[in-house]
Amino acid sequence: MNQQPIDAVYTWVDGGDPAHIEKINTALVALGFRPRSAAATRFASHGEIFQSLRSLDRFAPFFRHIHIVTDNQYPDFESQAGLSQALLDKIRIVDHKAIFRDHLDALPTFNSRSIETMLYRIPGLAEQYVYFNDDMSLIKPVGPEHFFGPNGPVLRGYYDVMPHYRIKRRLQKFLTDTFGINFDTFQYYSYKLSQAKAAEHAGFSKKFYLLGHDPHALRQSTFARFFEAHPEILEINIRDKFRTDTQFNVAALAYHLEIKANAGHLHPKRNLLYIKPGIQRQLGALLKDAERNPEKLFCCIQSLDMFTPKNQQRITRWLAENLEREHADFRTP
């Protein structure tokens, strides 16, 4: 069993904070337009992080420290019930200035990919850490072995073909280059493109390992070695104030570097309950399946503010009730 300490890391923003709103509006005026990545839903906070923290307290007490990375903000822990003192003692609030030290010209930033690029620079961060978005929760008991094994991180995903190798993509590119037809292929492939770009930086050319919205097991030294050798790549990935399609997914970079080094443990994606606004009609069935399926360990609720009020209440109630259920340990990662 892996005996090294493991930290948890969150990125968090309170999109309703007047100071944040003023900062983002100033940045948008300087930019001259509002990109899709500046949509209000990307910064909305409805207490998801507190639910996620409760799930760590209930299902993963092994985490050493919990680092919450913010821009001069502080979650209102005092208003929240169900957060144990043991959990609160683990929490470290980390300001953007601490991780962007020596790169303060990139601040303020509203770009999740830029922030994720710098997480490995958190002061006092453990070599092994798990990165959570604040909309991710644990829904079953887990152990260190679900994230790290004897040979490195557990890498959840599956292989896919590089976007530029797909026949449809190649045909669209030909028609765009020849006739100027705009298929908006970058928007269609945005999530995959960011991971494909990461794979290319790690030396992959024809296929890449596609990640999902799971918590990501990462190693600090993997990033440190790469960015010390390629500081120009880091600079490019942090320069934009808002997320762009020219950036790469940082967790995907780490996964591909681990694979290239024959480290880590490849694991098919089957542990995630992923709920987004487009599947609200299937919500009840998905929640019931997650209750019954012992392999459903993680939950990601994307853009809770875009669900109907009834379904928002249903989701938050289900997550709260799930903390009180008896769960058998699922000890095979």
Cβ(31)–Cβ(175) under 8 Å?
no
Higher pLDDT, residue 170 or 35: 35
Residue 278 binned pLDDT confidence (cut-offs 50, 70, 90):
confident
Cβ(14)–Cβ(110) under 8 Å?
no
User: What are the backbone angles phi and psi of residue 294, rounded to the nearest 5°?
Assistant: -65, -15
Would you say residue 328 has pLDDT above 80? no
pLDDT value for 181:
61
* Selection from 190, 213, 191, 209 nearest residue 200 by Cα: 209
Which strands, in side-by-side order, build the sheet including 152-156? 148-149, 152-156, 265-267
pLDDT value for 274:
94
Domains and CATH numbers, the chain: 6-152+213-324 (3.90.550), 158-210 (no CATH)
Q: If DSSP states are collapsed to H, E and C, what string results for 138-181?
A: ECCCCCHHHCEECCEEEEECEEEECHHHCHHHHHHHHHHHHHCC
277 CA to centre of own chain? 18
Residue 185 binned pLDDT confidence (cut-offs 50, 70, 90):
very low
Query: What span, in angstroms and rounded, lies between the C-alpha atoms of 138 and 272?
Result: 9
Looking at the DSSP bridge assignments, the partners of residue 301 are: 275
Looking at the DSSP bridge assignments, the partners of residue 10 are: 68, 132
Across the chain, how many H-helices and E-strands are there?
Answer: 13, 13
Which uninterrupted H or E stretch holds 247?
A: none
Cβ(11)–Cβ(96) under 8 Å?
no
Query: Hey, what's the torsion of the CAs at 59, 191, 306, 284, to 10 degrees?
Result: -50
Higher pLDDT, residue 149 or 305: 149
Which strands, in side-by-side order, build the sheet including 66-70? 91-95, 66-70, 6-11, 128-133, 216-219
Would you say residue 19 has pLDDT above 70? yes
Please give the average per-residue pLDDT across 119-132, as a whole number: 98
Would you say residue 187 has pLDDT above 50? no
Q: What is the DSSP letter of 241?
A: S
Higher pLDDT, residue 279 or 176: 279
Q: What is the DSSP letter of 108?
A: S
The CA–CA distances, whole Å, from 183 to 194, 196, 218, 219 equal: 18, 19, 35, 38
Taking residue 326's Cβ as centre, other Cβ atoms within 10 Å add up to 4
Instruction: Name the region of 162 (left: φ>0; alpha: ψ -120 to 50; beta: rest).
Output: beta
35-85 confidence digits (pLDDT tens): 777 666 666 666 789 999 999 999 999 999 999 999 999 999 988 888 999
| Residue percentage of the chain with pLDDT more than 70 | 87
Cβ(177)–Cβ(90) under 8 Å?
no
Is the preceding omega at residue 108 within 30 degrees of 0, hence cis? yes
Higher pLDDT, residue 33 or 123: 123
Mean pLDDT of the chain: 89
Total number of residues shown for the chain: 333
Query: What span, in angstroms and rounded, lies between the C-alpha atoms of 145 and 225?
Result: 25
Q: Where are the alpha helices (DSSP H) in the chain?
A: 18-31, 48-59, 85-90, 96-99, 112-117, 167-179, 185-188, 190-201, 220-229, 231-238, 250-260, 283-292, 309-324
pLDDT value for 167:
58
